[in-house]
Chain A
Amino acid sequence: MKIKWASYPYVLWMIIFIIVPLGLVLLSSLTIGEGVGLGNLGFTLDNFRKFFENEYYVEVLWASVNLALKSTVISLLLGYPMAMIIAREKIEKRNIMVLLIVIPMWMNFLLRTYAWLTLLGKNGFINTIVTKLGFEPLDLIYNDRAVLLGMVYNFLPFMILPIYSVLTKIDNSLIEAAEDLGANKFNVFTKVIFPLSIPGIITGITMVFMPAVSTFVISKLLGGGQYMLIGNLIERQFIEIGDWHFGSAVSIIMMVFILITMAITNKFDVDKEGGGGLW
């Protein structure tokens, strides 16, 4: 039974709410003007020129990419061992451990991020301990490191889960075969387990890098009022300043950077099937 007409309402929905809006963003990034509408429909690259000719904006872009890359690497280094530990457990314990990783995500992420202020602040939990031990209070909040911590904190589960799901699918006899043929633990990891887990790593990297590079919430909460990432720049243009054309151009530039990163990471995907999805 084939009832393909059943998809037509949704196809219409997609055209209206997914394709047309993205087209409008692209269009308004290529035009200038004020007020409602698309301005005067003369195509111009002024918005992009404005971005790349201003050192400040380029620095913001660089800072965002830099922080997102750092948080991705840290999440990978922290998440991979955790995924391996979970994958090696018995099945009942495994499920409980996965739940333990997932449960925090059920609490509002703004609140969880905000709670770090209580831990990191000048009179916060960590500094109380540090000063009681007789040291100078540390400067933990409203800087790069705080934003980085917020990113790793929020996105670490997205690194652990896909790697875990790939690791559990690895055929155990492959590992046994490697051991029978005389591979030590290190060799089994570098030659068998790690190469087979690459699809999971790629999914993890995408799922951490993308929200990290586009966030404006974490930087606003943990970085203080003046802290600027590319996400904050976009938010400012659309909410405060109202320069939709420039805001759209910045969004397009960000998307291009994400696409480039994804293309580079996908180069490392040995089997193009991509079995590392969350679903």
Chain B
Amino acid sequence: MVDRIIKRLYTFFIVLFLYAPILVLIVYSFNDSKYRGSWNGFTLKWYLELLRNFEVRQALEYTLIIAILSAIISTIIGTIAAIGIYGMPVFSKKVVLNLNYLPVLNPDIVTAVSLMTLFRFLRIELGFTTMLLSHITFCIPYVILSILPKLKQMNKHLIEAAMDLGATPLYALIKVVIPEIMPGIITGALIAFTLSIDDFVISFFNSGPSVTNLSITIFSMARTGINPAINALSTLMFISILALLLIINSRSSKSINKKRGELYEN
């Protein structure tokens, strides 16, 4: 009994620790004052401000465009690469996979600085393109890492069967391999999207003054005080992610229940 109370209390404190700043953000998005620390009453004006504030809106646009583009491109390159790596001989596979791990294991700031050095060396001006290229570069490894296990799980004879039945390699790839590894591809794309949307360090070093995403905007606002419209925006984003998670969760638990029901009926 005491054991249980201690467990509950501990969980409560850890969750409180993790959520306290988020609660603060949400509460202050309804605060009728530009300054944090003083509560002047309830308002929705920051949500309206969000529609009008050009700076915030443009940062949001860039964040989303970069995230969608880098998710799509890194998923395509990553999927093709994963299929190729899967078919490689053991030694070169090891080499490629170890190199692939570099951006995952390197601290963000090292990846960021090295890409910045590359762009300077090639005399490419920092801006939208460099930001997109660097986002793709740090997303691909995660896509590959989420697809490779699915390829290993796949039954090898499926492809042989398809080709025995007259499918060309390309046809077998599209009709057999891709559907088999689809869950991995989707996971990879989602990871790429969230990594890109949340990135600060790599974007900070590899974007010019003309292009900023939300993180960079927040960082530059932090010195003078963050516009509460940002709080409003992140409250909206947070709630939509939460809703999405709840929908996915209820759908998957429904399908589990359904499967269980079928099991019991048999």
B172 touches A111 (CB 8 A): no
Return the contact of A110 from the options B84, B96, B103, B218 (Cβ within 8 A): B218
Binary flags per residue of A232-262, CB closer than 8 Å to B gives 1, else 0: 0011001100001001100100110010000
Known contacts A3-B84, A115-B25; is-contact A82 B11 (Cβ 8 Å): yes
Is the pair A114, B22 in contact by a Cβ cutoff of 8 Å? no
Contact, CB under 8 Å: B24 / A118: yes
Interface assignment of B20: CB less than 8 Å from any CB of chain A: yes
What are the interface flags for A88-118 relative to B under an 8 Å C-beta threshold, 1 for contact and 0 otherwise? 0000100101011101111111111111111
Q: Is A210 a contact of B102 with CB atoms below 8 Å?
A: no
- Against A, the Cβ 8 Å flags (1 = close, 0 = not) of B109-139 are 1100111111011010000000001100100
If A13-B77, A20-B118, A21-B118 touch, does A6 touch B113 (CB 8 Å cutoff)?
no
Given contacts A10-B84, A217-B200, whether A234 and B109 have CB atoms under 8 Å apart is yes
Q: Which of B45-53, B233-241, B258-266 contacts A (4 or more CB under 8 A)?
A: B233-241
Interface residue ranges of A184-218 to B (CB < 8 Å): 210-211, 213-214, 216-217
Partner pick for B84 among A7, A116, A217, A255, CB 8 A cutoff:
A7
Evaluate contact between B205 and A238: CB separation under 8 angstroms: yes
User: Nearest Cβ in chain B — how far from A272, in angstroms?
Assistant: 15
Minimum CB distance partner of A100 in chain B: B15
Distance (whole angstroms) from the CB of B95 to the closest CB of chain A: 9
Chain B neighbourhood of A117, CB < 8 A: 36
Distance in angstroms between the alpha carbons of A105 and B199 in the assembled complex: 12
Given contacts A14-B100, A18-B102, A123-B37, contact A231 B109 (CB under 8 A): yes
Instruction: Write the B201-226 contact mask toward A (1 if CB under 8 angstroms, else 0).
Output: 10001000000001100110011001
Residue of B nearest to A1 (CB): B159
- Interchain CB contact under 8 A, B107 and A4: no
Contact of B25 among A19, A111, A235 (CB under 8 A): A111
Which among A22-30, A44-52, A130-138 touches the partner chain? A22-30
Please, which residues of chain A bring their CB within 8 A of the CB of B102? 18, 22
In angstroms, Cα B113 to Cα A235, docked, is 9
Q: Give the interface size bracket for A toward B.
A: 35 or more
Distance of A100 Cα from B18 Cα, bound (Å): 9
Is A10 within 8 A of B140, CB to CB? yes
Does the CB pair B245–A108 fall under 8 Å?
A: no
Q: Which residues of A contact B1 (CB under 8 A)?
A: none
A37 to B221, CA, bound (A): 33
Which residue of chain A lies nearest to B235 when distances are taken between CB atoms in the complex? Answer: A107
Contacts known (A119-B24, A156-B18, A234-B113); A4 close to B201, Cβ less than 8 A: no
B10:A85 contact, CB within 8 angstroms: yes
Q: B108–A211 contact, CB under 8 A?
A: yes
A62 at the interface (CB under 8 A from B): no
Contact between chains at B22 and A104 (CB < 8 Å): yes
Given contacts A37-B121, A231-B109, contact A108 B214 (CB under 8 A): yes
Given A3-B84, A11-B96: A251 and B110 within 8 A (CB)? yes
> By the criterion of a CB under 8 Å from any partner CB, how many residues of chain B are at the interface?
84
Smallest CB–CB gap between A9 and chain B, Å?
A: 7
Per the bound structure, the CA–CA distance linking A21 and B110 in Å amounts to 10
* Residue B155, interface by CB 8 Å: no
Chain B proximity mask over A128-161: 1 for CB below 8 Å, otherwise 0: 0000000000000000000000000100110000
Cα A44 to Cα B242 in complex, Å, equals: 54
Query: With the chains together, A170 CA to B218 CA distance in Å?
Result: 43
Q: Is the CB of B11 within 8 A of A10?
A: no
CA distance A213 to B222 in the complex (A): 22
Say if the beta carbon of A2 comes within 8 Å of chain B: yes
**Separation of A6 and B78 alpha carbons in the complex (Å):** 10
Contact flags (1/0) for B245-262 with A, using CB distance below 8 Å? 100010001000000000
Quick one: closest B residue to A259, CB to CB?
B105
- Kindly provide the distance from the CB of B32 to the nearest chain A CB, expressed in whole angstroms: 16
B window 72-107: CB within 8 A of A: 77-78, 80-81, 83-85, 87-89, 92, 96, 99-100, 102-103, 105-107
4 new A-B contacts at CB < 8 Å, known A13-B140, A82-B10, A107-B237:
A1-B87, A108-B234, A213-B107, A225-B223
**Which residues of A are interface residues toward B (Cβ below 8 A)?**
1-11, 13-14, 16-22, 24-25, 28, 36-38, 78, 81-82, 85, 92, 95, 97, 99-101, 103-119, 121, 123-125, 153, 156-157, 210-211, 213-214, 216-217, 220-221, 225, 231, 234-235, 238-239, 244, 247-248, 251, 254-255, 258, 279
List 17 A-B pairs, Cβ < 8 Å. Answer: A1-B173, A6-B83, A7-B96, A9-B77, A10-B77, A85-B10, A97-B11, A105-B198, A107-B234, A107-B238, A123-B37, A210-B105, A214-B108, A217-B201, A221-B222, A251-B113, A254-B107
Q: Which 5 A-B pairs have the closest CB atoms?
A: A7-B84, A6-B84, A10-B81, A115-B21, A2-B87
